[in-house]
Amino acid sequence: MMTLSALQFFVFGALAIGCLQGAHARKWRNTGGTIILEEAWTTPDLVNQLGNTSAALGGTNAELKANLLDIHNQRLRFMDENNVDYMVLSCASPCIQGISDPAQAEDMAVTVNNILADSISNNTMRFGAFAALSMHNATNAALELKRTVQELGFLGGLVNDYQQSGPDNATLLYYDQTEYDVFWQMVSDLDVPIYFHPRGNIPQIKSPSIGHAPWLAGPAQEYAATLSNHILGLCTNGVFDRFPKAKIIVGHLGERIPSDLFRIDEQLKRQLPLGMPMKLNVTSYWQTNIWETTSGNFATDLLQFHIETIGLDRIMYSVDYPFVAIDEGEAWVQTLPNVLSKRQLETLTRGVAIQVLGLDR
């Protein structure tokens, strides 16, 4: 039989653990509105990474920069006016992935994460964050992810495609190599998602690949074409076989991969005898490791196709603010009751995100 003091210890111990969990339980505004998670922000140090190409990215250069730097003014007003309960902020592309020097990149990642945590600290009911990560060194990336999740309350990380490195900026690091296993182990242990966001190519690639038709730079073509290589690299190099619990999120309705799964799977099967490490097929990882958002891709027929192909439980609403307007996203959501039940709409606009981000943890 348990003695009184043992019982007391047991009860108080359990209470203490309960309180600890209670102290860490996330509070966020939950009025049945939307949750959006591919939403960009940046610091004065990094805002000039955008260069002068931003007209193609939406609005004038000055407006875009002002919107990226803002959190509590027009951004929050657009959220209030458009039924957004909660927004996850992340550092605008290329952010740290555009810094070739490892020491500079690591310092800047810590700086950006601390500024972001501080900036949203007075309104965590409305704002959460994904960590910016220097991916030069997988161990250090893992440790910074851990710090931001455990000490700053971040919800995961966001990488802007490959990490450029080297003196000419042209050594490209992809996180599908076994050197990054230590990173994927941490992602699995922390049970947080890593968002794979696009970046513009370094000039040495941009020029030969789209120099003939420079209009293709950015979201219309370059981003999806480049980032889909990285995502399929994670699949074919066996990252999800080695780390079955790793979660990644892909924006813009999956960077076109789900439309092509038939051909991808059929053709990759032929690579198996050639030593491809992947154990399953790409379709299967879209059922276990990969989620997607609708950021900047408000196409109802395509959404319906994706619901049939990969399932509604893999798809989350997002906007891609300030490159896409929050009211454009909300106007689209308002049309969706034509094709989705109330329950399906809620799954899309918040239900899956609550689960994947662990907002109810």
Ligand X SMILES: *[C@@H]1O[C@H](CO)[C@@H](O)[C@H](O)[C@H]1NC(C)=O
Q: 340: which 2 tokens?
A: 């989705």
Least Å from the CB of residue 122 to ligand X: 4
Give me the catalytic one of 80, 265, 320, 360. Answer: 320
Name the residue type at position 112. V
How many beta carbons lie within 10 A of that of residue 44, not counting itself?
A: 9
Q: Residue 46 or 348: which CB sits closer to ligand X?
A: 46
Least Å from the CB of residue 155 to ligand X: 19
Q: Nearest CA to 82 among 341, 264, 360, 329? A: 329
Q: Residue 52 or 338: which CB sits closer to ligand X?
A: 52
Under the phi-then-psi rule, with left for phi > 0, alpha for psi from -120 to 50, and beta for the rest, what region is 344?
alpha
Determine whether 320 is an active site residue: yes
The angle at the Cα of 184, spanning 178 to 189, to the nearest 5 degrees, equals 145
Helix (H, G, I), strand (E, B) or coil at 350: helix
Helix (H, G, I), strand (E, B) or coil at 335: helix
- Which DSSP letter does residue 180 get? G
Q: Residue 169 or 355: which CB sits closer to ligand X?
A: 169
Q: Residue 205 or 354: which CB sits closer to ligand X?
A: 205
Least Å from the CB of residue 250 to ligand X: 18
Residues in touch with ligand X (CB under 6 A) = 51-52, 72, 100, 122-123, 137, 139-140, 168-169, 265, 280-281, 283-284
For residue 89, what is the enclosing H or E element?
Answer: strand 84-91
Least Å from the CB of residue 182 to ligand X: 9
Q: Residue 158's beta-bridge partner residues?
A: 132, 195
Which residues are annotated as catalytic? 320
